[in-house]
Chain A
Amino acid sequence: MNDLNLHKKQKPLVFTLLFSLLLALLCFFGPSHSLAYDLEKKVLKYELENGLVVLILERHISPTVSFYIRHRVGALQEGDGSTGAAHLLEHMLFKGTKTIGTKNYRQEKRLLDEIRKTGNALDHERLKGEQADRVTIDRLSVKLRHLQSQAKALMVDNEIDRLYTENGGVDLNASTGQDVTSYHVSLPANKMELWARVESDRMMNPVFREFYSERDVVMEERKQTIESVPQRKLMELLLATAFKAHPYRRPIIGWPSDVQALSMDYLEWFSRTYHAPNNTVIAVVGDVDPVKTLGIVKKYFGTISRVNLPPLRITAEPPQQGEQRVELLADANPYLLMGYHKPTLPSFDDYVFDVIDALLTRGRTSRLYRTLVEERGIAESIDTANGLPGSKHPNLFVIMATPRHPNTVEELEAAIHAETEKLKKEPVSPRELEKVVNQFRADLIRDLDSNNGLASKLSYYEAITGDFRYITRHIQVVESIKSADVMKAARTYFVPENRTVATLVRREKP
């Protein structure tokens, strides 16, 4: 997809939305047997009494350590009308705790309660729309501003970031997905206690300072990363069209009118409920002593109480019964997205789609690249992603294509169909399957070279599948996939009635 990392030198492009391909890409992950075996043996897994799962992996390449905390919560758990809550909460958790970021919490708390009441009243009035009372809105706005400036005097801004930065922390970031919310940082290996101190505190005692201005920041984020980027906006539209009932239809960042009305009360409930230890996985990878690490984790996280998670009732997406097409007009060049519904991991078909994904678009010898880009010259780029927008529930296999002028998206679409038809009719050669297996194996080896990457993958698959060994067993399943399996999956899923097509169309100037 398009390059969203605009500022190469920019350090804090924080709060990346994991809506994108990042997580999907993690699925192309497979080991060779010996390494798989090693990794399984080397990772220490421990469950605290309060249900918190800890994964520890020693690597002594350099005196550094990477931490990942994953809560099994995301946009999925939001109520309708409150989309964007999980993501805004992720922003709020950088605002400090009762003991970090305050000059006097007791006084500050009184003001924050006033701010909450005033903000709620203001939102309530604003939500009346046309019938809202301007005078009330103005009065409450002035009062809110006044309270905010008083509160400002009692707080120490961005203290979590400062603590980490000053102690040599890098890659401090957080992300919100449909299924998982994550917090991560890498530190010099001797600073582990700082991480435990800060992170356990923000699980237990978050304080929502600067709530309303942060809500405005998220509105800017939405404008910058979705509204101003037609290809991202088209992705939002594809998902909203492909899913009619399941919450995957909703954008992680939230719909604008929802975000503008999110309340501190709702976020507090959301945080208390879902950032529970029994809903959390931690991974620590680097130059650490596992026994000491576990001791520190127990000391700081062991005191957090278990929470009874409310039953989650997720509407299942009814089977699609006809092709769906949608277009977006924008001041931009044409672009094509195509999505097919499919099961998610650990279903066998999901592994088959990992293989199809690689067959179609991984590298210059992949089928779609070779045909559309190299031979016919009709596409500028072609890509696929298995598993959007999340992995916990049945999801989409998405094909993304950029036409080369003057070729049209219609031509691209026809050429892509020809390739998916070929998958249905002709068996994939053993050599082509072997190539894909080789690539998955090399990926694992490559990924073993990074504390941060390992911590990310271990914690992600532990959170999603309940067992980090998904990573090492993935390759064994992939190795067992035959050409007949690929044909069967292609015939089952690459059918018109299972397809959603979204196209970007240039808006003609009047």
Chain B
Amino acid sequence: MIMKRLLPALLMAALLTPFCDGFCAPPLPDPQRLKYPPLTFMPPEPERVELENGMVLYVLEDRELPVVHVSAVIRAGSAYDPEGREGLAELTAHVMRTGGTRSMTGDEIDDLLEFTAASISVSAGSDAASADLFVLKKDYDRVFQIFSDILIHPVFDERKLELAKGLKIEDLRRIADVPQRLAFREFRKVLYSGNPRGRLSTIESVGRIQKDDLEGFHKRFFLPRNIMMAVSGDVDGKEVIEKFRRHFAGWHDAGRVHPVLPPGEKHSSPIYYLHKEGPQSTIIVGFLAPEKKSPDSYPFTLLDFIVGSGGFRSRIFQEIRSNMGLAYSTGSYYEGREGYGVFGSYAITKSETTGTVLARLWQILQDAGRRKVLEGELTWAKNAIVNSFIFSFSSTDLIATQQMMIEFHGLPPDYLRTYRGRIEAVNRDDVLRVAGQYLRDGRATTLVVGNEQNFDRPLSTFGDIHKIDWK
């Protein structure tokens, strides 16, 4: 019976296929019900070594390509800048790279690195500085010598310092040229007001910095117990350790640096307004959030994903961009750091819809503390985080550096192994609790950069306005 009816149908289908290709193609399977083969993966584990002087090293061999990567992290960032010398960490890092070492001038180093297509970079962030080396295996020995000399024996050439200062000052002069850049910088200042992280460099503070400031900063922070390194690539583990002993053994162990105090809690929610002409406003609403070590960081990560960092389906993006069509860039971010964390939500919208967007953004944030997230939202967020976790292991360089950062941040060695389980264990009540605790009304820092004359609603209808100037 069935055969009889089916046969002509099959014949017809075969005949028709060439003519209705694409139009009458077989129905596509429901993407939600696709079955996937299981995925198993045991990422390689880097070896941890502690040198005699206290320096910690992670090593991971990878012979795929004839290259070597070294990443170093140093507890020394702009948060450690002395008052009135803001910009010192950044300049120290810059001139370590450009100013030469006891055995080579900066220009000689540039010449050798660029001729061998190797790269060394040194930079300073807020809470930490970093140094990186990429080199072809064949040049590894001589370039590594430069890398270690830059870390231990930099010479802060006056001419290179003057150049670095000049470039930084020009960069600062240009901050207001791009309103979004201005806004995110000013936001740091107001979010961390009263804390060293909120003191940013100015033309004046950079102008004051002298060579002996750099020497002092280097001496204070670039110490074996204050630095960690990760080495990966076409190397032999034993040789690496020998090499590091040779280069770094004489480095004096002068102790360890303590982290800068975390920013203090907020007890009011002022709205900062910075006047800047242009077609759009940049709106940022931020809060201090759980530190990375805190158990709260797991539910908070899910909260942030659902509220604004989880792509198109996250609430802020879905509402302000997809539903309202009022912004191209909008969403949120969360970063758990040592001792504190930061959460920010933002939208960039035309001046005429500034009030509408700010009101909606606030509503979304407050709603998260009042109502539990939906079961479906939480499942989606957990699946996304757990399923994409594999990308943390997509290169050996990444694996080694990541393991180093875990120790640097004082997290337990099994942090990565237990991460997915701890995300899975979060429930809707946990998310509600952290939203209520951290995104509390009265603790927000709000900044609007734009031209108030064209706003759809005066900012004063939202609360107390503090006008600020960027200079």
Residues of A at the B interface (CB closer than 8 Å) are: 2-3, 6-14, 61-64, 94, 99-100, 152, 157-158, 161-163, 165-170, 172, 186, 188-191, 193-194, 197-198, 200-201, 204, 210, 212-218, 220-221, 223-225, 227-231, 300, 303-305, 331-333, 362-365, 373-374, 377, 380, 402, 404-405, 431, 434-435, 438-439, 441-443, 445-446, 448-451
Contact = CB atoms under 8 A, between A and B. Distances in A.
A116 to B, nearest CB: 17
A302 to B, nearest CB: 9
Interface of B: 21-23, 25-32, 34, 36-41, 43, 64-67, 98, 107, 110-111, 113-118, 134, 136, 163, 166-167, 170-171, 173-174, 176-181, 184, 277-280, 309-313, 317-318, 321-329, 331, 333-335, 344, 346, 348-350, 380, 383-384, 386-391, 393-397
A157 B393 CA distance: 31
A165 B31 CA distance: 13
Nearest to B134: A446
A441 B65 contact: no
B325 A303 contact: no
B328 A161 contact: no
B280 A162 contact: no
A169 B178 contact: no
Contacts of A167: 383, 387
Contact of B22 (A10, A172, A204): A204
A62 B394 CA distance: 5
B325 A214 contact: yes
A14 B350 CA distance: 19
A220 B390 contact: no
Contacts of A215: 325
| Interface residues of chain B: helix, strand, loop or mixed (majority) | mixed
Contacts of B28: 99, 197, 200-201, 300
A377 B167 CA distance: 9
Contacts of A435: 114-115
Contact of B391 (A14, A186, A227, A439): A186
Contacts of A2: 177-178
A466 B195 CA distance: 57
B311 A451 contact: no
A382 B179 CA distance: 22
A333 B29 contact: no
A450 B395 CA distance: 8
Nearest to B386: A168
Residue in B66, B279, B396 whose Cβ sees the most chain A Cβ within 10 Å: B279
Contacts of B380: 162, 165-166
Given A213-B322, A216-B325, A450-B395, A445 B279 contact: no
A9 B334 CA distance: 8
A441 to B, nearest CB: 7
Contacts of B309: 9-11
B179 A198 contact: no
Contact of A449 (B65, B107, B280, B346): B65
B350 A170 contact: no
Residue in A14, A166, A197, A227 whose Cβ sees the most chain B Cβ within 10 Å: A166
Contacts of A162: 311-313, 380
17 contacts: A9-B309, A61-B64, A62-B390, A63-B39, A161-B311, A162-B380, A168-B387, A170-B388, A201-B28, A220-B280, A227-B278, A228-B179, A300-B28, A380-B167, A404-B167, A435-B114, A445-B136
Contacts of B349: 220
A377 B25 contact: no
A224 B450 CA distance: 12
Nearest to A374: B163
Given A11-B311, A189-B39, A64 B350 contact: no
